[in-house]
């Protein structure tokens, strides 16, 4: 065993853990704010099906933006239509996860790490 190598490895792991904690904290903050804003504007989280369908509708709007040539968004014109619609989808997901107490930030990290272990085009998939 090399003490210097072990020290460097420990630093890398420590740094990654710190980055992960910052990511989790940031996502939780955004999710909470998104949830609070939705409630403040009169929207609730009573129907799981409705919320998931609304997430899906944002993806459909992103496709429509692409079909229209991806022009600037009409509400935030410094961003393209697809950027705005994907942001809407992510915000709907985060608000919903916050309302349900889902650990989405932690799941994102776990799934990212798992995906790194998968083989190239795992399962022979074309896309």
Tally Cβ neighbours within 10 Å of residue 48: 11
Report the alpha-carbon distance of residue 102 to residue 48 in Å, rounded: 13
pLDDT for residue 3: 67
For helices 3-40 and 81-100, the axis angle rounded to 10 degrees is 90
Q: What's the burial of 104, exposed, middle or buried (CB within 10 Å: 0-12/13-18/19+)? A: middle
3-state helix, strand, coil in the chain (%, to 5): 75, 0, 25
Q: Are 93 and 53 in contact (CB under 8 A)?
A: no
Per-residue pLDDT, 12: 76
Q: Can you list the domains of the chain with their CATH numbers? A: 28-113 (1.10.287.1080)
Q: Which residues of the chain have pLDDT under 70?
A: 1, 3-5
pLDDT of amino acid 110 = 94
């Amino acid at each position: 065993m090399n003490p210097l190598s072990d020290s460097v490895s420990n630093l890398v792991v420590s740094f990654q853990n710190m980055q992960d904690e910052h990511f989790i904290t940031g996502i939780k903050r955004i999710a909470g704010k998104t949830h609070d804003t939705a409630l403040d504007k009169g929207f609730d989280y009573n129907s799981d099906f409705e919320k998931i369908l609304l997430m899906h509708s944002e993806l459909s709007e992103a496709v429509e933006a692409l079909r229209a040539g991806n022009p600037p968004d009409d509400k935030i014109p410094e961003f393209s239509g697809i950027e705005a619609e994907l942001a809407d989808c992510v915000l709907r997901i985060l608000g919903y996860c916050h309302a349900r107490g889902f650990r989405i930030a932690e799941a994102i990290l776990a799934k990212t790490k798992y995906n790194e272990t998968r083989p190239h085009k795992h399962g022979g998939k074309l896309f």
